[in-house]
Amino acid sequence: MLTIRQATNAADFDAARVLGWDYRALLEASLTPAEWHVIGQVYDLPRYTLAMDRLELDHVPPDGALMLAYDGARPIGCAMARRLTSQDCEWKRIFIQPTAQGQGAGRALCAALLAAARQAGYRRVLLDTARSMTGARQLYAALGFTERGPYSALPPGGTAALCFFEYRLQPQGAV
């Protein structure tokens, strides 16, 4: 049975780290060489290790969130949000184990992150993904994200390798 919950303790953050490293390995193995050339610069080992070490600092309320998807007691996916500005948060490392894909866990994680972003008072969610990740791009479009230009500095080749998305949040209680 699929459950989504926010990371709150050391075991949750450890599970997120394992999933985060699985995600990086999947990217390295499955992206096109041009995409990995760009993403590999951002996710080089020292930077990625630091990002994994900082999960409890960068992806927790009130400015962020780290959601985990479980199939029973087994963690199968994660999704993270962090503050960019007082109005904007960025989603990172939205990942479902390949053996668990296609069962709604990605959509459920995104719904939980959208709720957390609204509760935190953000007005926009920003994210990027590799152009070849068509399943992720389709999910974001189905959720109401729109494509946009880059929102941060990129390594050379970044705009050719990545797609950028934005979701405009309605304030809590707005109709």
> Considering the domain boundaries, does residue 108 fall inside one?
yes
Whether 175 maps to a domain, the answer reads: no
Confidence of residue 174 (pLDDT cuts 50, 70, 90): low
pLDDT digits (tens, 9 = 90+) for 25-62: 999 999 999 899 999 888 899 999 999 999 999 999 99
CB-count exposure of residue 172 (10 Å: 0-12, 13-18, 19+) = exposed
Whether 174 maps to a domain, the answer reads no
Which domain range does residue 103 map to? Answer: 2-168
Structural domains in the chain (count): 1
Task: Give the helix ranges, DSSP H, for the chain.
Answer: 10-30, 33-42, 45-53, 55-58, 105-120, 134-143, 158-161
Q: Is residue 89 included in any domain, yes or no?
A: yes
Average pLDDT of 142-163? Answer: 93
Structural domain includes residue 36: yes
pLDDT digits (tens, 9 = 90+) for 106-119: 999 999 999 999 99
Q: What is the pTM of this model?
A: 0.93
Residue 117 lies in a domain: yes
Q: With respect to residue 88, please indicate whether it lies within any of the assigned structural domains.
A: yes
Query: What is the CATH number for 93?
Result: 3.40.630.30
- Does residue 53 lie within any of the structural domains? yes
Identify whether the C-beta of residue 164 lies closer than 8 Å to the C-beta of residue 128: yes
Q: How many helices and strands in the chain, by DSSP H and E?
A: 7, 7
